[in-house]
Amino acid sequence: MTKIKLCGLSRPEDIAAANALKPDFVGFVFAASRRQVTPEAALRLRWLLDPAIPAVGVFVDEAPDRVADLLNRGVIQIAQLHGREGEEDLARLRALAPGRPLWQAFRLRQPEDAAPANASSADSILLDSGRGSGEAFDWALLSAIRRPYFLAGGLGPETVADALCTLHPYGVDVSSGIETDHKKDKEKMAAFVAAVRKGDTL
C-alpha cells in the first residue's frame, strides 16, 4: 500500500481531519514558510494527534541539536531534511538522536540529480521539484532512481491516481494540493486519501 503523508498541518482542525483519515504520516514544517509552526505549537498539535500517526518535522538547514531536541522530546518522530544537509549532518543527527528515522529530500531537475539521492544514507528519500513548490517535475527523471521514494510536487486529488499508476512510488507527500486559500481543506484531504487508497486497488 502506498504510504500517505499529509504535510504542512498547522491548526487543530487540520489534526482532527487527519485523525479521521488516518494517513501514514503528517508533517509539521519548522522551516520558514507560511505553513511554519513553532516547536511549542507543534507540541500542542502532537498532543491532539492520534498517537498511531507519526509526525514528521520538515527542516531546512537547521542546526542538528535543535532537530534532535524535537526528536528526543517526542514532538516529532521523524526528521525530514529539505536543505543542503549532507552525510555529516545525518551522522551528527544519528549521534544526537539514536534510532530516530531520518528522511532526506532531493530536487530532481536534471539526470545528474539522481546520484546523490541514490547514495544518501537517509532512511527514506523524498523527490520534489523544489522546497514545497507545489509544482510537478519531469517524471522521466525518476527512471534513474534505484531505491524506494516518496513523490512530492504537483500532487492533488485529481493527479495522484495517475502518479500511482505510472510510477508506483513507495509514498506520496502532499501539502498545497490539499489546500484552499492557503489553508488545509478537509474535503480535499479526504479526497486525496481516498484517491490514493483507490489507486492501490487498481
Please tell me whether residue 31 adopts helix, strand or coil conformation. coil
Q: d(Cα 202, Cα 165) in Å, to the nearest integer?
A: 8
165 given a catalytic annotation:
no
Choosing from 7, 14, 89, 173, the catalytic residue is: 7
User: How would you class 15 by CB atoms within 10 Å of its CB: exposed for 0-12, middle for 13-18, buried for 19 or more?
Assistant: buried
C-alpha cell at 22: 488516518
C-alpha cell at 56: 514528521
7 given a catalytic annotation:
yes
Decide: 82 and 59 in contact? Cβ < 8 Å. Answer: yes
Choosing from 65, 128, 181, 185, the catalytic residue is: 128
What residue type is assigned to position 143 of the chain?
S
Beta-bridged to residue 79, according to DSSP, are 57, 102
Which residues belong to the active site? 7, 128
